[in-house]
């Protein structure tokens, strides 16, 4: 649920993220630990995406470049 807002803004992110996790198996564990250590992160991330709708577009362009 951590990146739900981001994934909704950038549909391709889930595919890109999946490939990254497969390439770096430890990433999933590290990411999980971070979310557990900072419970508010998911809420903050969601609010940020909702406050800045253009973030999805900006990120998509960065990923494509």
Tens digit of pLDDT at every position of the chain (65 positions):
456 666 566 666 666 666 666 666 666 666 666 666 666 666 666 666 666 666 666 666 777 77
| Dihedral angle, C-alpha 39, 18, 60, 36, nearest 10 ° | 10
- Residue 47's alpha-carbon distances to 15, 19, 24, 29, 61, in angstroms, are 23, 26, 28, 24, 21
Looking at residue 61, its pLDDT comes to 72
Looking at residue 4, its pLDDT comes to 64
What DSSP character marks residue 3?
T
Task: Provide the domain count of the chain.
Answer: 1
Of residues 32, 53, 52, the one with CA closest to residue 41: 32
pTM: 0.22
The range of the structural domain enclosing residue 41 comes to 4-64
CA atoms within 13 A on the CB side of 43: 4
């Amino acid at each position: 649920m951590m990146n739900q807002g981001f994934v909704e803004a950038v549909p391709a992110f889930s595919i890109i993220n999946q490939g990254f996790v497969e390439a770096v198996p430890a990433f999933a564990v590290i990411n999980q630990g971070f979310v557990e250590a900072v419970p508010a992160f998911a809420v903050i991330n969601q609010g940020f995406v909702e406050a800045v709708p253009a973030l999805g577009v900006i990120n998509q362009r960065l990923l494509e470049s």
